[in-house]
Amino acid sequence: MAPLSRFILVPAIAACISAMPAGAQQLNLLAATCADFSGMSETDRSQLSLWLAGYFAGGAQRPEIDLGRVAAAPAALSELCAKTPQAPLISAESRAVFMPATPAP
């Protein structure tokens, strides 16, 4: 993982962890589905949306996060997940919620 992506992800992960109550459940985000997201509290969906924004930005090696997209993401992901509850949470469709499509060269 590039140093820049660690810079983005570490604060987002720390924020999520610090907000978790003691004994909180663990969620493997690579195996998480839309149903998992839909079953979360509003606060957890917002925190996970921030983490996902950092995850996708880090993967694309982009140093910026669009805060407007992050704020709108829980509602957009909920809409996406209502259509396909068993879809993986980390996917091209969910990535599009946070990042614009990359134009072809």
Which tens digits make up the pLDDT trace of 31-90?
A: 999 999 999 999 999 999 999 999 999 888 888 888 899 999 999 999 999 999 999 999
Distance CA 94, CA 48 (A): 12
CA angle (36 as vertex; 31, 39 as ends), nearest 5: 170
| Euclidean distance between CA atoms 62 and 7, whole angstroms | 11
pTM of the predicted model, to two decimals? 0.70
Domains, the chain? 3-19+28-98 (1.10.890)
DSSP 3-state of 33:
strand
| pLDDT tens string 21-30 | 555 578 788 8
**C-alpha 19 chain-centroid distance:** 16
Place of tokens 């983005």: 8
Handedness of CA 105, 94, 89, 24 (dihedral sign): positive
| Contact present, 99 and 55 (Cβ < 8 Å) | no
